[in-house]
Amino acid sequence: MFRSLGPGAIGIRASIVEGLELAKAADFQGLCIGIGAISKLVEENSADYVKGLFKDAGLKIGAWGLPVNWRGGESEFKESLEPLHASAKIAQALGCTRSSTYILPASEDKPFKENFDFHVQRFRPIGEILNEYGCQLGLEFIGPKTSRTGKKYEFIYTMEGMLELCDAIGTGNVGLLLDAWHWYTAHGTLDDLKKLTVDQVVHVHINDAPKDVPVDEQIDNIRRLPGETGVIDLVGFLKCLDEIGYEGPVMPEPFSDKVKGLPPLDAAKLTAKGLLRVWKEAGLS
C-alpha cells in the first residue's frame, strides 16, 4: 500500500499537475485524482502522457470518486450512468482501477429493506460497467452514532453490514472504502480487520479522533490528523491491512482545523508528517 494525497480532503484545490508537485514535495507516494480532471488531461494529450507525468514525479495513481448520480431520480441516474463507460475506460488505460463513494447511515423515507434493495439496484449496473474495464468500487460506511441520531430509519453503518451489501450487489468487484474514522466510531476491532480478504478492500482513508470525547459522541466532521491524538489505533489498523496484503492507496481525510487556511504545501506537509509517523511505527516503507 502507499501513502496517497487527496488534495480536496485537506482543503486544497489543485490541478493534476499541481497535485503531483504537492504530493512529491510533501513525501507522499501517490495522488488520488478526480476522474473528470484526469480524463480531460488524457483527451487533450494521451494516456501515455499522463502516465509519464506520474512516472516523472515518482508517484502512483490513487483512487477516484464515482462520477454517477446514483442517489438521484431514475432519469438522472440513467443519464449519469452512460458516461461511466468512458471514465472507466480511461481509468483502465491509466491503471487506476479503484473508485469509491459513500453511503449514508440513515434515511428519512426508506425503511431498511427498501433502502437495501434500492442500493443493490443502483450499484449492480454500476458494478457491471466497472467490471467491463477491470475497475473496482469501494463503498464507505458512515460510523458515528451522531450521524444516525434523530433520523427516521437507520441504515448500514458497520463494516459487516457494508460487506453484506457488497455481496448482495453480486458483481464481484464491489468492496469497502475502509475509513479508520468510521471503523473506530462503529466500534470496529482489529480482529474484524483481520477477517477481511484483500479483495474486500478497495480504498482506505486514515485520520485520528479528538481526545476526551466518548466514541458515540464523536461528530463526523470533527477529526484529527493521522497520529495526532492516538485515540484511533492507526498502527494496528495499518498492520492489519498490510497483513491481508492490501496494496492500494491510503489517503488522509482529517477534516482538521490545523490545515485549514494553510498554504497548500504547508497543509500537505503537515498532513504527511503525521501519516509518515504512524506508517513507520507500523513497520511500513
How high is the pLDDT of residue 4?
A: 98
pLDDT digits (tens, 9 = 90+) for 191-228: 999 999 999 999 999 999 999 999 999 999 999 999 99
How high is the pLDDT of residue 238?
A: 98
How high is the pLDDT of residue 172?
A: 98
How high is the pLDDT of residue 261?
A: 85
φ/ψ bin of 188: left (φ > 0), alpha (ψ from -120 to 50), beta (otherwise)? beta
How high is the pLDDT of residue 116?
A: 98
How high is the pLDDT of residue 186?
A: 98
- What are the structural domains, with CATH classification, of the chain? 2-281 (3.20.20.150)
How high is the pLDDT of residue 17?
A: 97
User: Measuring CA to CA, which residue among 227, 200, 224, 199 is closest to residue 213?
Assistant: 224
Mean pLDDT by 10 residues, the chain (285 residues): 97 96 98 97 97 98 98 96 97 98 98 98 98 98 98 98 98 98 98 97 98 98 97 98 98 94 96 97 96
How high is the pLDDT of residue 64?
A: 98
pLDDT digits (tens, 9 = 90+) for 67-109: 999 999 999 999 999 999 999 999 999 999 999 999 999 999 9
Between the CA of residue 235 and those of 238, 242, 282, what are the distances in Å? 5, 11, 5
What's the chain look like in SS3?
Answer: CEEEECHHHHCCCCCHHHHHHHHHHCCCCEEEECHHHHHHHHHHCCHHHHHHHHHHHCCEEEEEECCCCCCCCHHHHHHHHCCHHHHHHHHHHHCCCEEEEEECCEECCCCHHHHHHHHHHHHHHHHHHHHHCCCEEEEEECCCHHHCCCCCEECCCCHHHHHHHHHHHCCCCEEEEEEHHHHHHCCCCHHHHHCCCHHHEEEEEECECCCCCCHHHCCCCCCECCCCCCCCCHHHHHHHHHHHCCCCEEEECCCCCCCCCCCHHHHHHHHHHHHHHHHHHCCCC
How high is the pLDDT of residue 214?
A: 98
User: Measuring CA to CA, which residue among 284, 198, 268, 200 is closest to residue 234?
Assistant: 284
